[in-house]
Amino acid sequence: MTEISSSTELPSVRENIELHTADGQVLVGELALPVAQPVANTLITLHPLPTHGGFMDSHILRKAANRLPHFISSAVLRFNTRGTQSPRGKSTGEFDGGHLERYDVAAAIDFCAERGLPKPWLVGWSFGTELAIKYGPDHDIAGAILLSPPLHRATEADLMRWNDFARPLIALVPELDEFLAPEPARSRFAVVPGAKVLDFDGEKHLWVGERATRRVLDTIASIVAPGSAPLPTSY
């Protein structure tokens, strides 16, 4: 048995994909699937702010794709929003501050529906949480998981839409997050009585280190595949 580390890539079937948006952009990405099991759930990941280094390979999202297809039979879709570049390539278009990115979210959800991938969850990180909050209620999704939500672009009105939408909205908030700490997060999310705010002692906005990664992935697993956490730490 080998301990799982930041570079560990467990068995999965990987496919480079393209998403085509309703306004004519082409977004590059990757779909990771379990090797031998049917897909049990789908994670559509939305990366941090591209103007500050966020992209489809941002480490928590990359590690989710490296581990969760094997451990909980997830399909994990990662992609670069418009104008964002990574080793996979550059998506067409330009960053639009979360406005035209609504088409990017829609294209990702439509792609998963066309592939017949079940139980699609939006998993946003930082800027990606803004997209999940603002546009999740426009689509048939299982719910949204928010890593380090800053609530800079998502308004109270955006949050309140989740009351009628009535799907799970779960925020993972680091204790030491410089953008939105747990107590103010609870206050902001209070307009959605059904929302959950989970605070993580000692963690920061970027979830640095294997301990932080395991805490995030264990929490995601417990939400989308109840009973699966804690995930193995060796393989």
**3-class DSSP state of 207:** coil
Q: Give the CA count within 13 Å in the CB-facing half-sphere of 12.
A: 28
- Average pLDDT estimate for 49-56: 98
Secondary structure (DSSP) of 7-54: T---S-EEEEEEEE-TTS-EEEEEEEE-SSS---EEEEEE-S-GGGT-
Cα 55 from Cα 61, distance rounded (Å)? 9
Checking if the pLDDT of 198 tops 90, the result is yes
Checking if the pLDDT of 95 tops 90, the result is yes
Tens digits of per-residue pLDDT, 168-190? 999 999 999 999 999 999 999 99
What pTM, to 2 d.p., does this model score? 0.98
Scanning the structure block, which residue is given the tokens 């804690």? Answer: 230
- With a CB cutoff of 8 Å and minimum separation 6, the contacts of 221 are 68, 71, 72, 228, 229, 231
**3-class DSSP state of 174:** strand
**3-class DSSP state of 150:** coil
Tens digits of per-residue pLDDT, 116-145? 999 999 999 999 999 999 999 999 999 999
Q: Are strands 169-174 and 41-46 parallel, antiparallel or unpaired?
A: unpaired
Which is nearest to 127 in space by CA: 186, 180, 200?
180
Checking if the pLDDT of 64 tops 90, the result is yes
Q: What is the set of domains in the chain, with CATH numbers?
A: 13-224 (3.40.50.1820)
**3-class DSSP state of 185:** helix
